[in-house]
Structure formats: C-alpha cells, structure tokens
C-alpha cells in the first residue's frame, strides 16, 4: 500500500493498540507504553512448572502473568483483535526457537474449539496465535490432530457430569504422527488440564515430544 493509502486508512480506520485503545501507526501491533508494561509482566515457564509433577509434555514457554495489560490483550484476542496476538506470537517464537529440535520434524497445532462454539464466537483465537507463531518459526501447521467434541453430557445427568472432567471433551483427530515434535499452543496456562489432555492425545497419535506454549500463565491456583 502506498503512503497516501496508508494516510487515508489511518483517518477512516485508525489502527488501535489492543491493550489500551490508543491510536498507533499501521505498522505497529501494540503501543510502546503497553509493550513496556508487558515486559514487566514477563514470567518464566520453569517457575510455573516447578513443583508440578508428571507433566506429560517435554518443555514449554509462556510470556506474561494473566493480569493488567496482558489480561486485556488476551480478552481482545478472544474478541477477534489481532495486534496483541501477533505481538505475542513474535515473542513466543523467540523463546521457542531455543527449545525446539533442529531436525525439521516439528509441527504446530493448537487447542481446538468446537465448531458450534466457533460459529457463535466467529473466531478461533488459539488457532490464529498458532498460525502466527508457526509463520514466525517457518514451521508447518497441522489442523487434523485434535478436535473438541460437542458435550455429550446432559445437564441433568449429574453423576456423568461429575465423572466427566472439562478436559475430556477433547479427542484425537484423524491425523497420525510418526515421532514428530508437536508445538501445542493455547492462550492461557491455568491448571494445565486442557494441555495435559491434548498432550496425551497427541502422544497416542504418535508425537515423539510435545512442547506447549501459552501467552499467559494464570497463577498457581487449581
Ligand atoms: Zn497500548
């Protein structure tokens, strides 16, 4: 796009920072103030993982604590805004470049969202994050490895509801693996139950290793 075109876009459709709503130039993902605030919210995956036993994946990366600027960014990401998601994907790619094997056998996937819910939300934010991260890392994506099933548990079926944990709604897709490393993306790392279930499914489908990555870690509760 030429300069005049950019100028017109800027007048009629101003680009705004996802985290604070301030106007920013078209080539920017979020504003400088929010970027600086986010750097103060950086957390280490190793701190989240410390003391958590039997994690089924091999390694992980996480960027921010789930509060303040990062929390606003994630909420905007879920709403379909793309600036904070793209900003996070770049940072995650930098972290992950150090962790991933260099054997050319890594594929990228994400915690899936059931079709019905996607129709309502109109947007699959974990997929966008994963596709952005894959592009940064020049890795292929796989959309055939995991799926989220519509809930089979009825509300009145209490015993079944008690038995069926939230994470059990995920199932393996049709795709198979033969020892590849899978990079599995989600927005927030909380208890890890969702990523745990998805990792187990990926390994049952033939993943040699799973590396998880999330934008935020939401404390140690749960
Ligand atoms: Zn901002």
Query: Tens digits of per-residue pLDDT, 68-93?
Result: 999 999 999 988 889 999 999 999 99
- For residue 155, the model assigns a pLDDT of 44
Question: pLDDT digits over 199-213, tens only?
Answer: 999 999 999 999 999
Confidence at residue 80, expressed as pLDDT on a 0 to 100 scale: 87
Give the global pTM: 0.86
Residue 15 maps to a domain: no
Structural domain that includes position 110: 43-152+164-217
Gap from CA of 128 to ligand 1 centroid (Å): 21
Is 13 within the bounds of a domain? Answer: no
Angle at 6 between CA 31 and CA 87, to 5 degrees: 30
Whether 168 maps to a domain, the answer reads yes
Q: 130 C-alpha to center of ligand 1: Å?
A: 23
**Greater confidence, 30 or 153?**
30
User: What is the tally of structural domains in the chain?
Assistant: 1
pLDDT confidence bin for 20, thresholds 50/70/90:
very high
Q: How far is the CA of 82 from the centre of ligand 1 (A)?
A: 13
Task: Examine residue 102 and state whether it is found in any structural domain, yes or no.
Answer: yes
In a domain, 158, yes or no: no
CATH number of the domain where residue 184 is located: 3.40.50.2020
> Quick check: is 106 in a domain?
yes
Structural contact between residues 183 and 132, judged by C-beta atoms closer than 8 angstroms: no
In a domain, 222, yes or no: no
Pairing relation of β-strands 146-148 and 170-172? antiparallel
């Amino acid at each position: 796009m030429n300069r005049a075109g950019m100028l017109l876009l800027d007048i009629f459709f101003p680009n705004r920072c996802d985290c604070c709503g301030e106007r920013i130039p078209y080539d920017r993902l979020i504003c400088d103030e929010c970027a600086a605030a986010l750097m103060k919210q950086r957390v280490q995956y190793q701190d989240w993982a410390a003391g958590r036993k039997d994690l089924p994946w091999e390694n992980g990366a996480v960027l921010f604590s789930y509060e303040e600027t990062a929390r606003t960014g994630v909420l905007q990401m879920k709403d379909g805004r793309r600036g904070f998601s793209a900003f996070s994907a770049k940072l995650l790619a930098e972290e992950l470049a150090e962790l991933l094997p260099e054997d050319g056998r890594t594929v990228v996937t994400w915690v899936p969202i059931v079709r019905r819910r996607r129709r309502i939300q109109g947007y699959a934010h974990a997929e966008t994050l994963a596709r952005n991260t894959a592009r940064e890392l020049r890795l292929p994506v796989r959309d055939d490895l995991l799926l989220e099933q519509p809930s089979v548990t009825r509300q009145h079926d209490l015993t079944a509801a008690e038995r069926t944990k939230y994470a059990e709604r995920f199932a393996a897709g049709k795709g198979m693996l033969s020892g590849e490393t899978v990079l599995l993306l989600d927005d927030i790392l909380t208890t890890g139950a969702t990523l745990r279930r998805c990792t187990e499914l990926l390994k049952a489908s033939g993943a040699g290793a799973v590396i998880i990555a999330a934008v935020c870690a939401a404390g140690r509760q749960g």
